[in-house]
């Protein structure tokens, strides 16, 4: 642990000019061979490195309670039975007594038929009351799904890692109140896509012959197809909540740029996409108001100043004070964020071994100690209650970084919040571990939509700080054909050297 004096000296020696966009930097470490796109680089995959930094703590009380659709049924052997949403077909069938516990004995082998079936869920839709523009948001559909109302197909989904929205005006065209979600077999649909591929697409995890490894073409948690630590249970279902959202009161994308940090002050620039006039701000620490210098600079740009800031440190290097930062703009929802004041940079200078890769927080080198984490339960709906134990174990073991492995799914908000609170840095993979992937335009479009959602969406944990370096951002985005203005707005790097951290 560094003394306060050492920390102060190092921080003052390294005042920062950090660009920290809320809708943030990516590193896509990609290698292309013709039209084939394969993942390569550190840890064998596309990766992000996140720092627990900012979290969406809450919204205006009245507007935050968006109606949730949680009374669902699932069709089993021609009979509609109660279902649990969020969940999946395996947890429903176990709860209904239709299959035995899949983790007991050799039951894994007796339930393989499930992956080859189509599964239908339904609910009675209750339209929201009151003014405003509404959309029905599916936060997670696993994986190939049709959302139907009155015989009309409202949505075609094909990615477990994306969320989907249907405008209320589209739903109001139908008089029916029965909303149905039809899941097609991930194996059947994946095989259809694989059969159309012009070349074999190998994967290392799926114990199937070449040409039948459908996980390579399906945007779904890859461990569902089996791994060295996991059984093969290719699930289907509504794995995240379904709820109505008021789209007209949501905040636009906005960026928080740390322009100066010393022991005496922290200066940020805040930029609201498309302009954001009339924004007010409030800052608190442990429930007590903190004086803040908030100045409008025009065109939706503001300067935020904090005097004598209490700095956020990784576990074992100091405390983790989290300020509550609240934006208010009249008709919009109030947006409250947990703000950890800190700088975070990578030292990539040349050294005796070639090139350094040293993480620095507040100018202080970090001796990274950590582990790779996989879901603490195979089924995400059951894993949610285990993340507190995972983070507590990491802290007690004196770790300061966890890697969220790229063969599963993106983390729950609660996980990142806990990392913020306990000083755990997070190295965040994209979900494409240990496999080649298709290089066609449809796959790239789907993956890039997923990537953008995961790092810019308000429903994704806003508490993440991201650490990457410029060269790979530009290289990866360019190779995928992503327009320069978009990846430039994400990357957040100045013209000199490797950078910096970003915030979703």
**Which pLDDT score, from 0 to 100, does residue 39 have?**
31
CATH number for the segment(s) 69-240: 2.60.120.260
CA neighbor of 81 nearest in space, from 67, 97, 102, 69: 97
Which of 126-130, 142-146, 414-418 shows the highest mean pLDDT? 142-146
Taking residues 453-458, report their average pLDDT.
Answer: 70
Is pLDDT of 199 > 50? Answer: yes
pLDDT tens, residue by residue, 2-52: 444 444 444 444 444 443 333 333 333 333 222 223 332 233 333 333 333
Task: Extract the runs of DSSP E, i.e. beta strands, from 191-314.
Answer: 237-238, 242-246, 254-261, 265-272, 280-285, 288-289, 293-298, 301-307
Of 63-67, 233-237, 419-423, 467-471, the least confident: 467-471
**Which pLDDT score, from 0 to 100, does residue 411 have?**
86
Consecutive H or E run containing 436: strand 436-437
What's the helix, strand, coil split of the chain in %, to 5? 25, 35, 45
Which of 57-61, 81-85, 201-205 shows the highest mean pLDDT? 81-85
Length, in residues, of the chain: 504
- Record the tokens describing residue 470, joined without a space: 């410029």
CA separation for the pair 211, 222 (Å, rounded): 16
Torsion on CA atoms 296, 300, 301, 302, rounded to nearest 10: 40
- Record the tokens describing residue 310, joined without a space: 């209490």
Verdict on whether the full-model pTM lies above 0.85: no
Taking residues 293-315, report their average pLDDT.
Answer: 94
pLDDT tens, residue by residue, 227-240: 999 999 999 999 99
Domain ranges of the chain: 4-62+250-503, 69-240
CA separation for the pair 332, 37 (Å, rounded): 41
Q: Which residue has the tokens 């029965």?
A: 178
Which residues fall within 8 angstroms of residue 14, CB to CB, at 6 or more apart? 343, 345, 360, 363
CA separation for the pair 424, 439 (Å, rounded): 35
Consecutive H or E run containing 477: helix 470-479
**Which pLDDT score, from 0 to 100, does residue 6 have?**
40
- Record the tokens describing residue 332, joined without a space: 């919009």
Confidence band of 436 (pLDDT split at 50, 70, 90): confident
- Record the tokens describing residue 112, joined without a space: 């393989």
């Amino acid at each position: 642990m560094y003394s306060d004096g050492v920390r102060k000296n190092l921080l003052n020696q390294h005042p920062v000019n950090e660009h920290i966009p809320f809708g943030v930097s990516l590193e896509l470490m990609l290698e292309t061979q013709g039209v084939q796109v394969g993942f390569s680089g550190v840890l064998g995959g596309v990766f992000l490195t996140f720092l627990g930094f900012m979290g969406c703590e809450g919204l205006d009380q009245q507007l935050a309670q968006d109606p949730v659709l949680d009374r669902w049924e699932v069709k089993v052997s021609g009979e509609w039975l109660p279902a649990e949403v969020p969940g999946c077909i395996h947890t429903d069938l176990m709860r209904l007594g239709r299959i035995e516990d899949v983790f007991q004995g050799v039951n894994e082998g007796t339930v393989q038929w499930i992956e080859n079936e189509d599964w239908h869920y339904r609910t009675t839709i209750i339209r929201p009351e009151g003014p405003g523009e509404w959309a029905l948001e599916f936060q997670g559909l696993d994986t190939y799904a049709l959302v139907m109302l009155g015989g009309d197909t409202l949505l075609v989904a094909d990615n477990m890692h994306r969320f989907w929205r249907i405008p209320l005006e589209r739903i109001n065209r139908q008089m029916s109140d029965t909303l149905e979600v039809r899941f097609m077999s991930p194996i059947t649909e994946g095989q259809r896509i694989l059969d159309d591929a012009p070349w074999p697409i190998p994967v290392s995890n799926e114990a199937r012959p070449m040409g039948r490894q459908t996980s390579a073409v399906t945007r779904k948690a890859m461990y569902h197809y089996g791994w060295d630590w996991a059984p093969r249970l290719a699930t289907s279902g509504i794995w995240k909540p379904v709820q109505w959202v008021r789209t007209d009161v949501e905040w636009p994308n906005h960026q928080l740029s740390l322009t100066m940090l010393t022991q005496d002050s922290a200066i940020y620039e805040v930029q609201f996409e498309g302009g954001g006039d009339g924004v007010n701000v409030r800052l608190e620490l442990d429930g007590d108001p903190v004086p803040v210098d908030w100045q409008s600079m025009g065109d939706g740009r503001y300067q935020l100043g904090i005097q004598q800031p209490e700095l956020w440190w990784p576990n074992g290097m100091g405390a983790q004070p989290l300020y509550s930062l609240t934006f208010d703009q009249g008709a919009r929802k109030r947006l409250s964020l947990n703000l950890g004041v800190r700088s975070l940079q990578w030292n990539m200078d040349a050294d005796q071994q070639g090139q350094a890769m040293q993480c620095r927080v507040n100018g202080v080198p970090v001796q990274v100690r950590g582990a790779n984490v996989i879901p603490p339960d195979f089924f995400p709906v059951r894993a949610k209650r285990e993340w507190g134990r995972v983070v507590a174990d990491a802290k007690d073991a004196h770790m300061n970084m966890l890697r969220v492995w790229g063969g599963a799914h993106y983390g729950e908000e609660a996980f990142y919040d806990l990392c913020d609170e306990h000083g755990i840095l997070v190295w965040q993979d994209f979900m494409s571990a240990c496999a080649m992937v298709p290089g066609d335009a449809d796959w790239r479009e789907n993956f890039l939509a997923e990537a953008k959602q995961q790092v810019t969406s308000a429903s994704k944990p806003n508490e993440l700080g991201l650490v990457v370096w410029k060269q790979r951002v530009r290289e990866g985005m360019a190779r995928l054909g992503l327009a320069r203005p978009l990846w430039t707005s994400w990357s957040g790097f100045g013209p000199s050297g490797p950078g910096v951290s970003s915030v979703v």
